[in-house]
Structure 1
Amino acid sequence: MAFVFEHLRRMKESNRKVPVDRISSLPDELLINIINFLPIKYAVITSILSRRWINLFKEVTHLDIDDSFLCNSYNAFIAFTCKMLYSAKLSNMIRFRINNERCLFTSVDRWLDVILCHRIQEIDLRIQMPLRLPDSMFTCKTLCILKLTECYVILNIPDTVCLPCLKILHLKKFMFSDADVISRILSGCPLVHELVLTPCHWDELDQLSVSAPSLTKLILGKGCLAYPPLSLVTVVAPLLLRC
């Protein structure tokens, strides 16, 4: 997407008559799609390019928050993310992704509460911190993709799990202390066709049961079986494809 900034920069710096700004004349839908591919920091920066771009970043459908692209200050990071989240048009939000490996923040659970009130379709979290998953995450009727990586989460699964649209579930680097967690989640996901558990730690557990009638892809990474080793893995998935 660097060509967008370079194109507009040259137009501003040139002293001769400039050609028609063809990029800014594109429909909103196309410009928003371009912004969706930018890291969040640069998505916001597009607002200073011209009047045409001032509010377009608020219409993004993909909110990707990556701390490697943001400031080093913990407080500034929180302030920036909150401002972006609450200024965006959340009714348009499709994907919410956080990649945070350097600083710990406790606002994620509140951000999830806000996001889950809307028709979110994909949540992708890579956070090296203790995290509470709201009960509403397990009853989100629009959620299609859920990826949780390196989240130090205690999975307190509510009595009712209803994820009727969930098709892809990734749980990576998790610690499981309850043998029924996976079964309870899958019981409320009738359409899930991809399940990834790698690598996971099974705390004092020696058996794993996976039952999903629509499952076509199952990945149990080496680490998933390594510590401690599982003595028995039972898979009931009539549509599972052989690699």
Structure 2
Amino acid sequence: MKRQRESERDINDIDRLSDLPDFVLLHIMEFMDIKDVVQTCILSKRWKNLWKSMTNLTLHCLDDGRTYTRVSPLEDTDQTCILSFSKFVSRILSDRDGSLHLQHLDFAHRDTPEITLLEVMEYAASHNVQQFRFPVEFDPPHTFELPLSILCCRSLTFLKLDFWIFSSANNKVKFPKSMNLPALKSLHLTFVTFTTNDDGCVEPFSTCK
């Protein structure tokens, strides 16, 4: 009876999760909060760098689960949280295995610093992202021009850009005169302004095949 109990205890002590292949563990991580994902690095030697091989990233930082609801100035604690998350995002992107292409990147943030927006878009484009979701709320000090890199990303098949701007200056998010997205199959845009050509016409999709 004693041996049986010891045998049952040994079975229960087996780390079945770590016995799973990497691709299964990486798939499980896709359903976890990114902060919890990064913390798995302390579990064991095998887990130390595992998260860095993720090809699907979800980076969200929204207030109490509600999207785009701010109507009053930010408190100091909110500003601290925003800056902290921006630094966290930069660390995630710099530590991730840069040799791996991105299949999916979903970034959502409120009152995002412009430098963080540009960093995420440039990273997505340079790592051949296939699906890019980008719903953000921010208050730019001037008209924000989208970088050509993400709008000329030849690997993109899905692109969703939702910009919610809170500004008394009526600033906007401006598209370039044209974009080159040969693999694109689905495009969703919210609150953007297209740039006219010299003849006053707007033809942002003229170079898309």
Q: Is TM (by shorter chain) over 0.5?
A: yes
Partner of 2:60: 66
Partner of 2:23: 29
Partner of 2:88: 80
Distance 1:96 1:139 in 2: 16
Aligned partners of 2:145 and 2:176 also within 8 Å = no
User: Alpha-carbon deviation of 1:164?
Assistant: 0.7
Distance 2:193 2:46 in 1: 50
User: Alpha-carbon deviation of 1:85?
Assistant: 0.9
Shift of the 132–39 alpha-carbon distance from structure 1 to 2, 3 Å rule, reads farther
Partner of 1:109: 118
CA RMSD of aligned residues (A): 2.8
User: Alpha-carbon deviation of 1:20?
Assistant: 2.4
Aligned partners of 2:160 and 2:189 also within 8 Å = yes
Partner of 2:107: 98
Deviates more, 1:90-99 or 1:23-32: 90-99
User: Alpha-carbon deviation of 1:182?
Assistant: 10
Identity of aligned residues (%): 28
User: Alpha-carbon deviation of 1:178?
Assistant: 5.3
Larger RCO, structure (CA 8 Å, separation 6 or more): 2
Aligned partners of 1:116 and 1:140 also within 8 Å = yes
Report the count of equivalent residues.
172
Aligned partners of 1:59 and 1:92 also within 8 Å = no
Provide structure 1 residue ranges, at least 5 long, that are not aligned to the other structure. Answer: 1-15, 191-243
Aligned partners of 1:36 and 1:61 also within 8 Å = no
Distance 1:104 1:69 in 2: 12
Aligned partners of 1:135 and 1:158 also within 8 Å = no
Q: Work out which of the residue numbers 137, 156, 176 in structure 2 matches 1:143.
A: 156
Shift of the 125–163 alpha-carbon distance from structure 1 to 2, 3 Å rule, reads same
Partner of 1:221: none
Distance 1:111 1:50 in 2: 30
User: Alpha-carbon deviation of 1:68?
Assistant: 3.6
Compute the TM-score of the two structures, normalised by the length of structure 1: 0.62
User: Alpha-carbon deviation of 1:41?
Assistant: 1.2
User: Alpha-carbon deviation of 1:97?
Assistant: 1.5
Shift of the 176–21 alpha-carbon distance from structure 1 to 2, 3 Å rule, reads same
Aligned partners of 1:98 and 1:125 also within 8 Å = yes
Deviation sequence 1:2-26 (CA, Å, 0-9, x none): xxxxxxxxxxxxxx53342222111
Letter in 2 for 1:57: W
Shift of the 52–122 alpha-carbon distance from structure 1 to 2, 3 Å rule, reads same
